[in-house]
Amino acid sequence: MAYQGVHLPRGYDVAVKNDSGSWVDLGVTMEGGTLEATYETTKITGSRAEQILTAFREFTVSSTFTLAQIKLENIHLLMSGATEYTSVPGTEVAGAEQTLTGGNWAEDTFYKFEGQQGDGTAPTSVSMSNDTSLTAFELVKVGTEWGFVVTAANDLDEDLVVTYTYTPSASKELTLGSNSVEITPRAFRIRKNLGTDTAPKYFGVEIYSATNEAGLSLAFPRYDEEDITTLEVTLNGDLDTTRGDLDQLLKITDETAA
């Protein structure tokens, strides 16, 4: 029987944990989706048919939804090791400039590089100037994208000019297919912001250990439709026995009640 069924309306954000334990955005659900956790009921009776024990066992969870905003590197994470992802290098862009206008930037704030390395590493030869050369900054990676944070007092009314070198991808490739592939279950998070952008309040579910058992299922729109390519996902999860009792399958969080 199912002890919890949750309907997923349009617009839930879906994320997966990568190998370093960081959440990576997979995209947004389209139309409807579902999540259902199930278990089996076991009843033990005595010699006179009296009921001694009732127990729940074989806990599992499943979730189905359609994803928009498809990126091959994210599909690679979703497939839990059943695919190979390659970024084919393009032409190096040396001395790229990015300007933050005076009065419109702040210290200790993350700013994304407009140009990203195709292989996911940090841009190189990074330098910054305000009214003078600036050295108090750090390169920071948020999700899959690199940016920078200015870490010391500077003239915020002056433009901040950032110069760096990066090599974008010429293309991205995803390959699939082997006689036998060992896959690694991953943690997934499905949630929606029911607050505001500045004061988010989420309702959602974290599934601790699951795999996508729908395979690679892409839906292509008709030639006369303006819809985008979407990905059908079916997550099936089992217990993560490294966690504590009654916290091995999933966690539902509702911040709107706080």
**SS3 labels along the chain:** CEEEEEEECCCCEEEEECCCCCEEEEEEEEEEEEEEEEEEEEEEECCCCCEEEEEEEEEEEEEEEEECCCCHHHHHHHCCCCEEEEEEECCCEEEEEEEECCCCCCCCCCEECCCCCCCCCCCEEEEEECCCEECCEEEEEECCEEEEEECCCCCCCCCEEEEEEECCEEEEEEEECCCCCCCCCEEEEEEEECCCCCCCCEEEEEEEEEEECCCCEEECCCCCCCCCCEEEEEEEECCCCCCCCCCCCEEEEEHHHC
Q: In this structure, are 76 and 98 located in the same domain?
A: no
Q: In this structure, are 78 and 21 located in the same domain?
A: yes
In the predicted model, what is the mean pLDDT of residues 51-61? Answer: 82
Task: Give the residue numbers spanning the domain of 143.
Answer: 91-167
**What local confidence, expressed as pLDDT, does residue 153 receive?**
76
Q: In this structure, are 79 and 96 located in the same domain?
A: no
Is 28 part of any domain? yes
Q: In this structure, are 70 and 131 located in the same domain?
A: no
Q: In this structure, are 35 and 158 located in the same domain?
A: no
Of the three residues 105, 139, 167, the one that is the final residue of a domain is 167
Is 250 part of any domain? yes
Residue 58 banded pLDDT, cuts 50, 70, 90:
confident
pLDDT of 171 above 90: yes
Of the three residues 119, 140, 167, the one that is the final residue of a domain is 167
Is 175 part of any domain? no
Q: In this structure, are 103 and 64 located in the same domain?
A: no
**What local confidence, expressed as pLDDT, does residue 203 receive?**
93
Q: In this structure, are 95 and 64 located in the same domain?
A: no
**What local confidence, expressed as pLDDT, does residue 250 receive?**
96
Share of the chain above pLDDT 90, in %: 53
Q: In this structure, are 154 and 189 located in the same domain?
A: no
**Range with lowest mean pLDDT among 9-23, 141-155, 178-192, 208-222:** 9-23
Residue 240 banded pLDDT, cuts 50, 70, 90:
very high
In the predicted model, what is the mean pLDDT of residues 93-117? Answer: 94
**What local confidence, expressed as pLDDT, does residue 175 receive?**
95
Q: In this structure, are 80 and 202 located in the same domain?
A: yes
Is 176 part of any domain? no
**Range with lowest mean pLDDT among 8-17, 91-100, 209-218, 246-255:** 8-17
Q: In this structure, are 205 and 232 located in the same domain?
A: yes
pLDDT of 127 above 70: yes
Q: In this structure, are 20 and 44 located in the same domain?
A: yes
Is 173 part of any domain? no
Residue 49 banded pLDDT, cuts 50, 70, 90:
low
Of the three residues 144, 167, 190, the one that is the final residue of a domain is 167
In the predicted model, what is the mean pLDDT of residues 52-71? Answer: 86
Q: In this structure, are 205 and 244 located in the same domain?
A: yes
**What local confidence, expressed as pLDDT, does residue 243 receive?**
94
pLDDT of 3 above 60: no
Is 236 part of any domain? yes
Is 177 part of any domain? no
**What local confidence, expressed as pLDDT, does residue 97 receive?**
96
Number of domains present in the structure of the chain: 2
